[in-house]
A and B are shown apart, each in its own frame.
Chain A
């Protein structure tokens, strides 16, 4: 069951942060996603995995916030991996040309394997 009220939780897995957005990424509450990533970046983490398994709707506001995360990581030469994306999300990101700026994986494990292997 996907919640309309957006929230975010996260965990550290080795040297990578795994972020779990939950709910629709379509309003100002999505700023918490940027803040959560920012907290890890401020601690020196450069590898971020965003697991979208609990988020299947992103609108223009959500895209703007994701752009911010991509840019924040790019500024520190970091890596962003996106996993568990719905078909809608994949197609939206593809249509907007965002896929070139992120690494997409089926699941979290694949992303972590890629990052552990030194993927950039």
Chain B
């Protein structure tokens, strides 16, 4: 085989190497470094550089280089490069503007009508001159490198836009949460006895959902449902909500409307979370079908509803109401336990107790329930009670207990 043919095969192999490297799964820096080795290995150049032109700053930066003085490369101006042919390599000696010591070849890199960078090479290691074939090969390589740089530039633009959108989303989320809290404050302000109730229900529900291993997205959903579960109370009269004597059947009927009203309001909002309106609507349902507004039972009641129901009941029990005194945490837990499987779900109650126990023992860095319980509570007593409840609820026969028909 003649040397010329061997050389031609070597060049073809080099182009294949270049294609393989720039389409590899390597990161951009690795791709450029590998492409740089392919070029310097193909032309036996002991010095070289690949420069990138940043459209936004209108400056060239060195992506990789070997052998040249950094100050020389810094003196290359993009405006001067724009005067040269697109992706056409030229002898640098013909252009005194590019005063880079030992540089012999320069190829401005273009994609369509945009300058994207430059490729610079020194003389060959074996001192042979660059041939016409070399220039043709360099032209092909310059096109390939230009496309790679352009793809990277587009990727960077998209990444930048993505970051802007992420920030915008975070700002909107912040505003959204603020609005939600303002709304909840308006709901709770209707009833002097339920100050911060919506906030606490949201926090308790979040803690249970997190312990259950829900995704962050779904946790956000139940947080919102917790805040809005009583939004229908806005349509109930203040006199009725703050009544200190027992409700008449008619008044009770009126009060019970609030969950359906909450559903009517929230179902008009296109939440990014599923089931918010359902959680709000059914937070007074019971597993035994004795709840309202639809008397749903067992499987018809979703986990989300079961969580909100328990969180709502626990907070109602541990809060002062016009018609009764608040219960201490131990009494409330015992009351909840009594109603497991008839009103509340065994699994949800178990998880709630586990979270509270972990919070008391300092095992959770950001407690959601503990900060809201009575400051005078004896935590060691509560913890002992919780351990007992957890043991009982964890027993297989209890966990699998079915509801009475």
Contacts and interface: CB of A to CB of B under 8 A. Distances in A.
B150 interface: no
Nearest to A97: B126
Given A65-B37, A98-B126, A60 B17 contact: yes
Nearest to A59: B17
A23 interface: no
Contact of A61 (B3, B41, B125, B128): B41
Interface residues of B, number: 25
Contacts of B240: none
A93 to B, nearest CB: 11
Given A28-B30, A67-B44, A61 B126 contact: no
Interface string A94-106: 0111101100000
B44 to A, nearest CB: 6
Contacts of A28: 26, 30, 33-34, 37
A63 B39 CA distance: 10
Interface stretch (B7-15, B180-188, B214-222, B283-291): B7-15
Task: Pick from A26, A92, A101 the residue with the most CB of B within 10 Å.
Answer: A26
A67 B46 contact: yes
A60 B14 contact: yes
Interface residues of A, number: 22
B17 A97 contact: no
B33 A95 contact: no
Interface of B: 3, 6-7, 10, 13-14, 17, 21, 26, 30, 33-34, 36-42, 44, 46, 66, 125-126, 128
Interface of A: 26-28, 59-65, 67-68, 70-71, 91-92, 95-98, 100-101
